[in-house]
Structure 1
Amino acid sequence: MTIIIIIFTCLVSWQAFNRPELRAKMLFYPTAVKNRGEYYRFLSHGFIHADFMHLLFNMYALYIFGGIAEATFTCLFGPTLSKLGYLLFYLVAIVASSYVSYLRHQDNPGYASLGASGAVAAMIWPYVMFDPWSWFIFPPLPAFLLGIAYIAYSHYADKRGGDNIGHNAHLWGAIFGLLAYVVLCLFLEPDILTAFVERLMEPRGMNSPRSYFDPCG
Structure 2
Amino acid sequence: MGNLDLVTIIIIAANVIITYKGFGDYSFFEKYKFNVGAVKRGEQIRLISSGFLHADTQHLLFNMLSLYFFADLVIRLLSPVQFLLIYFGSLLLGNLLSLYFHKNEYHYSAVGASGAVTGIIYAAILLQPGMSLMFFFIPVPIPAYVFGIGYLLYSMYGMKKRVGNIGHDAHFGGAIGGYIITLFLAPWLFETSLPMIGLLAIPIVLLFVLKKMGKI
What TM-score range do you get, normalising by the shorter chain? 0.7 to 0.9
The alpha-carbon deviation at position 158 of structure 1 amounts to: 1.0
Scaled by the length of structure 1, the TM-score of the pair is 0.79
- In structure 1, what is the Cα distance between the partners aligned to 2:190 and 2:10? 28
Alignment of 1:13-92 (within 5 A): 13-34=19-40, 36-74=41-79, 83-92=80-89
Q: Let me know the Cα RMSD of the aligned residues.
A: 2.1
Query: What's the counterpart of residue 106 of structure 1?
Result: 103
| Contact kept in structure 2, 1:131 and 1:196, CA below 8 Å | no
Does 1:10 pair with 2:11? no
Question: Are the aligned partners of 2:101 and 2:169 in contact in 1 as well (CA < 8 Å)?
Answer: no
Q: What TM-score, normalized to structure 2?
A: 0.79
Task: Quote how far apart the aligned CAs of 1:88 are.
Answer: 2.6
Change (3 A) 1:27 1:197: same
Question: How high is the sequence identity, in percent, across the aligned residues?
Answer: 35
Query: Partner amino acid for 1:59?
Result: M
SS in 1 for 2:44: coil
Question: Quick one: distance in 1 between partners of 2:184 and 2:115?
Answer: 19
The CA distance in 2 between the partners of 1:88 and 1:22, in whole Å, is: 26
- Aligned partner letter, 1:154: S
Aligned length: 187
> Which residue number corresponds to residue 170 of structure 2?
169
Q: State the match for 1:211 in structure 2.
A: none
Q: C-alpha displacement at 1:193, in angstroms?
A: 4.7
Unmatched segments (≥5 aa) in structure 2:
1-6, 198-216
Query: For structure 1, which runs of at least 5 residues remain unmatched after alignment?
Result: 75-82, 201-217
Q: Summarize deviations over 1:77-123 as a string: whole Å, max 9, x none.
A: xxxxxx33322321121110011211232332321000000010001
Higher strand share: 2
Q: Which has the larger radius of gyration?
A: 1
